[in-house]
Amino acid sequence: MPRLALMAWLGALSAAAFPTWDLWRVRFEEAPYFFCGGFDPYYESVWDWLFLPFLLPLRGDLNALHGFTLTWAVPAIVVLVCFARWHSAVAGRQAAGILTFFAVLGPLAWPYFDLEACATVPLLSAQWWAEMIDIWGTTELSLLMAAALVLLATQGLGPAEESPTAPVSLVARRSAAFVIDYWVVVVCVTLIAQPFPDFLEYGLSDWLRFDKIVEEPLRLLVPAALILYVLPRRTLGIWLTRLR
């Protein structure tokens, strides 16, 4: 392996591991405490009634996914797995895509809070866009830098071995099928979720937390129904996207 490529890999691993180190460092510091009283209005317009039941659970689950990936150093693991296939340009592009996804996911999924209004910032509002742009910092830049260094190491600093990859149309259809099936599950859980606003805010990941399942064992019906829904491998999403 060329020396420059090795340096690029070490830089990518350091950049991918930095968000995890920074997250654990902040957790050991004393967190600021604040309190405010108020009511967070979930439904204020026709837009809220039509789209929030679909967008809020997805945001909650994506935010939980982002927190899990940073807590357990998933970006660094992605770089290490890709390093095992350092000669594959396809693996490099896939790893760079995953790292870029993690970088964009944080600002998109974070539940921004307005201290003056004592309420969550309305999703997709002008204030939400401003907060999303403003939150970009060292975590996102580190992940983007890791993605760029992985691409540099696999595409431009050594022999690249190509391997078959799925066409873009197939990837798009699989993604669409997943989103459709996710919303099918969300709608079904929404019919039984209590209280309704809490479920919307935090998504399926919070609904299936271990401590809440201990208090309400009936929540286990959700994963059981999910397994029955997926088991035939002919879900609504697969049918609509014509996947086999």
Average pLDDT over residues 97-118: 89
- Other Cβ atoms less than 10 A from the Cβ of 28: the count is 6
pTM: 0.81
E-strand stretches of 59-218: 113-114, 119-120
- Other Cβ atoms less than 10 A from the Cβ of 187: the count is 12
CA gap 27, 244 in Å, rounded: 45
pLDDT for 20: 95
List CB contacts of 39: < 8 A, sequence separation 6 or more.
Answer: 119
In the predicted model, what is the mean pLDDT of the chain?
80
Report the percent of the chain where pLDDT is more than 70.
Answer: 79
- CA torsion sign for 220, 222, 228, 231 is negative
Report the percent of the chain where pLDDT is more than 90.
Answer: 27
pLDDT for 185: 81
| Closest CA relative to residue 57, chosen from 208, 223, 200, 205 | 200
| Range among 26-40, 63-77, 79-93, 154-168 rated most confident | 63-77
Residue-wise pLDDT for 191-232, tens only, equals 766 554 455 667 788 877 888 788 878 778 777 877 888 887
State yes or no: pLDDT of 163 exceeds 80: no
CA gap 205, 168 in Å, rounded: 29
